[in-house]
Amino acid sequence: MRWCCGGSYSENGSGGSRNTQQQPTPLLTTAGTAAQVSTTHDTFGPMQVKMHKTAVIVTGGTGESVLLDSLRSSGWNCTVSFPTQATSDIESICPLAVFIDLRVPHPSQVAKDVSSVSTEEVLIASIAEKHISEKRRRALAQSNIIHHVTWNTRDVSLFDYVGRLANRIRALPALFTVLDETDQAVEVCDEHRVVQYVNRAYENVTGCIRSEVIGQPESEMRRKSLPRARGEEERRRSSDWKFIRVPFANNSQFVYMKRSNTTGEAAIFRDVSLKSLKSQTGGIEAPISEVLTMLRDVSCRVDGEPAQTIKDAMKVLSSHELYAPSINRFRDADRIATQYYDGLIRLHHPARQRKRSVVDAHREKRGSHGERRRVSADVKNALENDNCWKFDILHLEKVSDHHALSQVGMKVFERWKVCEVLGCSDDLLNRWILSIEAHYHAGNTYHNATHAADVLQATSFFLDSPSVAIHVNESHAVAALLAAAVHDLDHPGRGNAYLINTRQSLAILYNDNSILENHHIALAFQLTLQHNANVNIFSNLSREEFIQMRHAMVEMVLATDISRHFEYLAKFNKMHVTDVAEEQRDTNSLTICDMLVKCADISNPAREWGLCQRWAHRIVEEYFEQTREEKEKGLPVTMEVFDRNTCNVPITQCGFIDMFAREAFATFTEFAKLGELSEQLESNYEKWKLMTSQWTPTHNTNLVL
């Protein structure tokens, strides 16, 4: 007999003593012929679905029977399981059908347990020696047992049909996932034009929530331009929406799909808002960003030619040089006009040769490192992890006797093979960085050579990110490293507002516009190019190469002007990096480096807490001195909050993160795939926030620098 209570079973059905100390295991796993299992497929519309026909038979015996043989012959993979093991077997196997022997104890409870761990498409059937009464069938139906068979049945056609349907159902989640991820809006209606399904893009286009739309009649208000389906009409190209016939449902379903945007509306810019959920200053947004957002919203509500005009306007407004003329009509036809344009307007006209990315360049170069410079053991140890975000530049400052810039500079320049790009010797580059370092003010607590070294190290770290490097060309990478080294050259320890209010010569020279930033980069080139200094690292560059290098360095240093912070952030947000022309790739490379150096310049709040705190104390100390001097001289006080007698330092740091750092790092680290930096910034923010209530002005006299 098939029923052998308490026995244990091997695959050949032989009995033996049962070991009650061991967890029961599936009794038997059998399959149909290899040809049936591996090659049987079902065509589901345009999709090919492999027929995985699996079943679990819950019984106390071996399950050997005419039914089991018939299932095997039809290609079913059957597993025989004890009642105590059934749920775990079903969870691991995910069968299409479960057969429960009515002779097991409490079959209804077994069925309920099976239902709790199985998916909706699983058929649960009972098995008995003979047919059961209608009354018992109804009772079993309460436990989701919806079909009944006998052990000696040979007809398994119903199970084959259910298996076919179940395999199709299991293919649907992938299709729904794709529909929800696509940028095109999709609406599916039944034969009565009642909405059955809409995807996420539909919600974005119409502004309607899915749960409010499904089950409702189709609406022209939701899709004004949607063409009605008529007769044999398959597709309508005169509208932003198209009707698609569903040939697999006897035309009883109607699909409406928002046409793909061939003009690249979705690709005009990276839609990264300047408004952070955590930011207390989310209202700060560049006007051009607000304009683009409004235009984008309007473009979704109009059709035809007006919509296209709006999209074209958005492209123009997304330009990096919004007010620069775009003159094309006479460049080739009018020689005089072309020369006027090139000589007086264009100024910079770089050659159009293909430029190597950082990835391409340093894949070739990083294998060899040449001869190492001689440094002390302490300095060498301090430089050991200069390519890590945890790098302690303040420790290097101490062990190198305040020569952190020249030490980390040469290490970074060597790793990035800057000499090879510039065509200069290591000795010349070393003399140059020493000259630059000497023109920083050692008396400044913050804006000194160590800060420049810190920014240089952060710049190198950012360039090391594969997500960044693939978009940055080699010359821009080198320009970013050099710009980082000189970005605060000869900083007087006072801000631009102070220079304007005291009518300093630099403010007069640069007409109150980015005064210090213009001075830093101008002095850097003056020092580099003077004949008697013998530090011209650009001497072997061609004229074209020098112009491009200088233009990039100037642009990157000017990007560090905090008064233009949101302008550069908006430019970066609007950048599009996929499927772009070569000229746009070059523009993107520079935009990325602008943002990269800018983030490096304000990276202290994202450093490890110990470094973050000490850098904060250094900048605050510098601001304290400026505020004191402004009050003593009767000048307008630039930032009243930095009065040593009243300042709450933790509040000022929270304010800086809210105002500037959080948005910049959230945007850039998402692009660079360096999310851990933003996490560190938020961790530091919380630490500052906890300190605000305990901070008193007495702390301001003993800051740890």
How far is Cα 556 from Cα 590, in angstroms, rounded to an integer?
8
Contacts of 132 (CB under 8 A, 6+ apart): 102, 126, 140, 148
Which residues are annotated as part of the binding site for Zn(2+)? 451, 487-488, 601
Cα–Cα distances in angstroms (integers) from residue 477 to residues 471, 559, 582, in the given order: 10, 15, 17
Q: Tokens standing for 626?
A: 């400026």
User: What's the alpha-carbon Rg for the chain, to the nearest Å?
Assistant: 36
Among candidate residues 497, 630, 485, 627, the one with its CA nearest the CA of residue 553: 485
DSSP letters, 513-535, are SSHHHHHHHHHHHHHHH-GGG--
Q: What are phi and psi of 92, to 5 degrees?
A: -80, -30
Q: Which residues pair with 126 in a beta bridge?
A: 100, 148
Cα–Cα distances in angstroms (integers) from residue 575 to residues 64, 284, 290, in the given order: 67, 19, 16
Torsion over CA: 92, 94, 99, 105 (sign): positive
How far is Cα 584 from Cα 586, in angstroms, rounded to an integer?
5
> CA geometry: angle at 355 spanning 352 and 357, to 5°?
155
Report the amino acid identity of residue 166.
Answer: A
Q: Catalytic: 520?
A: no
End-to-end Cα, the chain, rounded Å? 88
Which residues are annotated as part of the binding site? 447-451, 487-488, 601, 653
Which residues are annotated as part of the binding site for AMP? 447-451, 488, 601, 653
Q: Are 650 and 695 in contact (CB under 8 A)?
A: yes
Q: One of 362, 447, 471, 565 is an active-site residue; which one?
A: 447
Report the amino acid identity of residue 537.
Answer: I
Give, as one character, the DSSP assignment of residue 9: -
Q: Which residues are catalytic?
A: 447
